[in-house]
Amino acid sequence: MPDQKILQPRVNGKMVKMKAPDITKYLKLPIQFDEARLQHDLSLIMEDKWRPHFNKSVYQGAWKAIPLYSNNGDETNIFSFPPGNAPVMETSLMKYCFYFKEVVDSLKFPIRSARLLRLGAGAEIKPHRDHDLGYENGNFRLHIPIFTNEDVQFVLDGTKIIMLPGECWYTNVNYVHSVINSGRSDRVHLVIDGVRNEWSDDLFFSAAPEESFQPFLEQDAAEKIERTIEELKRNNSLSSQKWISQLEQKLAELNGNL
């Protein structure tokens, strides 16, 4: 069989360069959960169940977690991708948090972990990246806000994203992201890490084109840092100024100015 030629589009006999699809870095999925029931289940959990996040280098203030699904149902394991090959199981909290269980059961993809993450009033998560957590990697992260406030600033790749209670959001955290809670109340999200399958493909591609899920490119790092700096400048807080200084130094290093 002869080699097939790729036909380029033409207009008036002239070859036209096709525009690359926009990359989907975040996505509000067509799912809505019950805000009141989410908050009711959260109210059932005792304060002593919260554990400080293990990655202390990337945050200031109070950032705590509670595992709902983890390796062997271990209530002390707050890792998003727990080491080892132990099966992911419900923790004992799910015995009385019926709506949390209903939410997770409604998502028909393999669960790597499900956690409650609480960012205290005045706390900050510094600009950072995670790895292999884009949909195109076969793994992905969903955020379901339970409590938030208008002074929470979640910035992903230079874009501020407003997530409201009960909504379900995909965020590609391979890109630089940060959170500042300048409000007077805690921000609490149900965060679920899953494995891509046909069910999740149907869900994601109903909201965004399949070709828009593209691998993260390292060479775009300088441009992404610039966008993050611009968004932090709009916030105009003391903590933002400190992060801007650190990011500008990193940008200078990338550009070979030091």
In a domain, 146, yes or no: yes
pTM for the full predicted model: 0.78
In a domain, 85, yes or no: yes
Give the domain range for residue 231. Answer: 218-254
Q: Looking at the structure, tell me whether residues 132 and 227 fall in a common domain.
A: no
Q: Looking at the structure, tell me whether residues 125 and 181 fall in a common domain.
A: yes
Side-chain half-sphere of 198: how many Cα atoms within 13 Å?
A: 0
Q: What's the CATH code of the domain at 131?
A: 2.60.120.330
Predicted confidence band of residue 257 (pLDDT cuts 50, 70, 90)? very low
Residue 223 has pLDDT above 80, yes or no: no
Q: Looking at the structure, tell me whether residues 225 and 108 fall in a common domain.
A: no
Q: Looking at the structure, tell me whether residues 123 and 59 fall in a common domain.
A: yes
Predicted confidence band of residue 6 (pLDDT cuts 50, 70, 90)? very low
pLDDT tens-digit readout, 95-128: 999 999 999 999 999 999 999 999 999 999 999 9
Q: Looking at the structure, tell me whether residues 160 and 43 fall in a common domain.
A: yes
Predicted confidence band of residue 240 (pLDDT cuts 50, 70, 90)? low
How many domains are there within the chain? 2
First to last CA, the chain: 56
In whole angstroms, how far apart are CA 116 and each of 19, 33, 77, 109, 192? 40, 15, 12, 19, 9
